[in-house]
């Protein structure tokens, strides 16, 4: 279904006429529509913004609130009254000198998206997609999720006054299921893989006219993640690091970060858009890494992902081919690590920076560590690791802590417990 639309919520914004969907493969311009596949070649559609018709400057951006909507000219919502804003974005870019020393790079920053409203980067794309659902006058929204997107979609739907249906594998961690439920969303747990879940969500979008954020709203949805790239550039003084390491499930985040950087260059906000985009995946589900390492021109699906890093367990990544192209175009690379290495990185990140991430968020640190040790990433590089979700949603994957002491309420017991540790 293709739905053509102008502004629907009541006010015509500055981006009217500047937004269209363009096919990545054949280049056909579809205009401002609700669609996700080209009607000529079935290629994926992506948003194109005509920056000749949009005026944006560093000064204008810096004068705005510190959330993702400060980059208003880069976000494909025409009508400001349709915007759903929970305060997402402009998350900390933490200089992590101690962690840089532990890993062995010259300078390291952590882009900490664990502090977003629902504690993951998924608030970025969900906010844009639900805003577009309002603009297209959709009565309900939904998503296919490995966990984090479910909570983000449910929260934004609640704030927008829309019904929501979130689809997840029945194996997803319990806190993520509860998190989505708390907002009033209908949670549908599917016995099967994420790819089975995605098919169910696509059926819901097609048969019930639901705005499934990462299916029929997908071209608009991925645009929210561009803001992570825009923020990194702005927070570094409108310049780029040598490398950005990104956890990859569908591949959309890596592609979108680079798209945001490319658009910042096109709009004249940065002088140089050179940065090595680097993909991080778990060994038990690493289709993008495998395609890169094998020199393939397509991403072969992983039919049965085997990893405890559930948030990255997408065997057939929807934006995998685009991510592969971006990695190669930018001179980046791709690496996969074991589940244990991902867990170890959670502890290392927490110890050296005070940030508690889930394994799927800390995997960027794990992969950087591996690539430095193998000599694939230079020790003189300045690197940003994107940390995408909090560890509080994945407590069940961690072993019981060994640094807890239970004592009776007496000074003698306190002294026996602490004294030896201070010697």
pLDDT, one tens digit per residue, over 294-320 is: 999 999 999 999 999 999 999 999 999
Mean pLDDT of 264-290: 98
Q: What is the CATH number of domain 3-58+121-221?
A: 3.40.50.1100
The predicted pLDDT at position 423 comes to 84
- With 90 as the cut, is the pLDDT of residue 33 above it? yes
Distances (CA, A) of 403 to 222, 345, 399, 418: 41, 18, 12, 12
pLDDT, one tens digit per residue, over 181-224 is: 999 999 999 999 999 999 999 999 999 989 999 999 999 999 99
Single out the residue of 93, 75, 176 nearest to residue 389, CA to CA: 176
Which residues have C-beta within 8 Å of that of residue 70, sequence separation ≥ 6? Answer: 61, 64, 89, 90
Name the band, by pLDDT with cuts 50, 70 and 90, for residue 6: very low
- What is the phi/psi pair of residue 146, to 5°? -90, 5
Single out the residue of 93, 134, 166 nearest to residue 7, CA to CA: 134
93-119+224-397 has which fold? Rossmann fold (3.40.50)
Distance (Å, rounded) from C-alpha 227 to C-alpha 233?
10
Distances (CA, A) of 256 to 50, 143, 317: 17, 19, 14
The predicted pLDDT at position 241 comes to 98
pLDDT, one tens digit per residue, over 61-92 is: 999 999 999 999 999 999 999 999 999 999 99
- With 70 as the cut, is the pLDDT of residue 119 above it? yes
The predicted pLDDT at position 2 comes to 45
Residue 404 burial (CB < 10 Å; 0-12/13-18/19+)? exposed
The proportion of the chain whose per-residue pLDDT surpasses 90, expressed as a percent, equals: 94
Residue 202 burial (CB < 10 Å; 0-12/13-18/19+)? middle
Which residues have C-beta within 8 Å of that of residue 205, sequence separation ≥ 6? Answer: 142, 211, 212, 215, 216
Terminal-residue alpha carbon distance, the chain: 70
pLDDT, one tens digit per residue, over 147-194 is: 999 999 999 999 999 999 999 999 999 999 999 999 999 999 999 999
Strand ranges inside 24-64, DSSP E: 29-31, 33-34, 45-49
Distance (Å, rounded) from C-alpha 83 to C-alpha 11?
11
Which residues have C-beta within 8 Å of that of residue 75, sequence separation ≥ 6? Answer: 68, 69, 128, 223, 224, 226, 227
Ranges for all domains in the chain classified under CATH 3.40.50.1100: 3-58+121-221, 93-119+224-397
């Amino acid at each position: 279904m293709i739905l053509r639309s102008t502004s629907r919520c009541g006010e015509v914004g500055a981006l009217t006429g500047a937004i269209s969907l363009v096919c990545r493969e054949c280049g056909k311009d579809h205009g401002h529509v609700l669609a996700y596949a080209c009607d000529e070649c079935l290629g994926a559609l992506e948003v194109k913004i005509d920056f000749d018709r949009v005026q944006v400057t560093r000064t204008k951006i810096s004068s705005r609130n510190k959330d993702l909507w400060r980059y208003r000219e880069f976000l494909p919502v025409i009508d400001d009254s349709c915007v759903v804003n929970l305060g997402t974005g402009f998350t900390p870019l933490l200089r992590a000198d101690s962690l840089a020393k532990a890993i062995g790079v010259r300078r390291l920053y952590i882009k900490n998206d664990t502090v977003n409203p629902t504690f993951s980067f998924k608030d970025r794309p969900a906010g844009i997609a639900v805003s577009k659902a309002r603009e297209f006058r959709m009565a309900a929204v939904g998503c296919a999720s490995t966990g984090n997107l479910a909570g983000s979609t449910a929260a934004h739907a609640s704030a927008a006054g829309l019904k929501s249906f979130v689809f997840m594998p029945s194996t997803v961690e319990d806190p993520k299921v509860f998190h989505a439920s708390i907002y009033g969303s209908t949670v549908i747990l599917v016995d099967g893989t994420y790819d089975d879940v995605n098919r169910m969500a696509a059926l819901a979008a097609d048969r019930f006219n639901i705005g499934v954020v990462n299916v029929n709203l997908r071209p608009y949805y991925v645009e929210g993640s561009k803001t992570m790239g825009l923020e990194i550039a702005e927070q570094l003084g409108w310049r780029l690091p040598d490398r950005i390491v990104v956890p990859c499930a569908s591949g959309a985040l890596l592609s979108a970060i680079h798209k945001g950087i490319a658009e910042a260059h096109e709009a004249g906000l940065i002088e140089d858009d050179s940065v090595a985009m680097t993909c991080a995946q778990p060994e038990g589900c690493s289709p993008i890494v495998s395609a890169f390492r094998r020199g393939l021109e397509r991403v072969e699906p992983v039919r049965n992902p085997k990893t405890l890093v559930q948030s990255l367990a997408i065997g057939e990544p929807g934006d995998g081919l685009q991510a592969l192209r971006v990695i190669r175009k930018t001179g980046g690379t791709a690496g996969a690590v074991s589940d244990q290495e991902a867990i170890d990185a959670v502890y290392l990140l927490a110890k050296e920076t005070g940030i508690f991430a889930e394994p799927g968020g800390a995997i960027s640190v794990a992969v950087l560590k591996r690539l430095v040790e193998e000599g694939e990433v230079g020790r003189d590089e300045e690197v940003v690791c994107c940390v995408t979700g909090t560890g509080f949603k994945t407590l069940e994957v961690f072993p019981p802590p060994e640094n807890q002491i239970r004592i009776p309420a007496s000074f003698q017991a306190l002294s026996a417990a602490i004294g030896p540790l201070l010697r």
